[in-house]
Amino acid sequence: MGRASNDGAASVERFTAFERAAHWSNAIAFCALAISGIVMARGKFFLLPVLGGHEVSPHRFDAGEKQVLWGDVLVLGLVVVASGLGLNLLVPGLGETQALMRIASMVHSVASVLMMAMFASHIYIGTVGMRGAYKAMRTGFVDAAWAEEHHKL
């Protein structure tokens, strides 16, 4: 069944909302993966002329460590706690409609998976991915050379 378009001509649905969502999800994922792949494979040649060869030294915590704290622990943690409280009906006046529970369940699940992925990455980098990082968290100390290399300031 068609409907009239802005110019008065009949239109026919070609793609459903689900098909369009699947298409754009794939398109966005492809672009992100393609760009990250180019950067990993040839990033020096693409980014060095733009960004320059000077490396910004972090103070005590680098960008990844700050991302884990602010993005994972604080933001996603609050989302998981808030949605969990809603799912357990512990938020007075929130309402208990089936639609709201589905939304809360979806938000809770997505935020939880993102948290797990970020924590898994953090654990990998802190144990295997960066030599000396695990020792720093286990003992609290690092070699002066390690500190100079990773946190010059």
Q: What is the pLDDT of residues 83-106, one digit of tens each?
A: 888 888 877 777 678 888 888 899
- Above pLDDT 70, what percent of the chain? 88
- 37 & 49 share domain: yes
Token pair in block for residue 3: 């409907």
CATH number of the domain bearing residue 91: 1.20.950.20
* Torsion sign, CA atoms 19, 22, 26, 27: positive
Residues 75 and 150 in one domain: yes
One domain for residues 66 and 134: yes
Give yes or no: residues 122 and 49 share one domain: no
Instruction: Report the C-alpha gap between 153 and 146 in whole angstroms.
Output: 12
Q: Residues 94-115, buried b or exposed e (16+ Cβ, 10 A)?
A: eeeeeeeeeebeebbeebeebb
- Looking at the fold, whether 21 and 69 belong to one and the same domain comes out as no
Q: What is the pTM of this model?
A: 0.56
Give the confidence band of 136 by pLDDT, cuts at 50, 70, 90.
confident
Q: Which one, of 144, 118, 131, lies nearest residue 66 by Cα? A: 118
User: Are both 48 and 106 inside the same structural domain?
Assistant: no
Q: Which residue has better confidence, 61 or 145?
A: 145
At CA 133, angle to CA 33 and CA 128, rounded to 5?
55
How many Cβ atoms are within 10 Å of 73's Cβ, its own excluded? 14
Residue 64: domain span: 58-153
66 in the same domain as 27: no
Task: Tell me: do 4 and 41 sit in the same domain.
Answer: yes
Q: What is each CA distance from 6 to 3, 11, 12, 15, 20, in whole angstroms?
A: 10, 10, 13, 18, 21
Q: Are residues 67 and 48 part of one domain? A: no
Tokens of 57: 């030294």
Query: Which three-class secondary structure string do you get for 96-149?
Result: CCHHHHHHHHHHHHHHHHHHHHHHHHHHHHHHHHCCCHHHHHHHCCCCHHHHHH
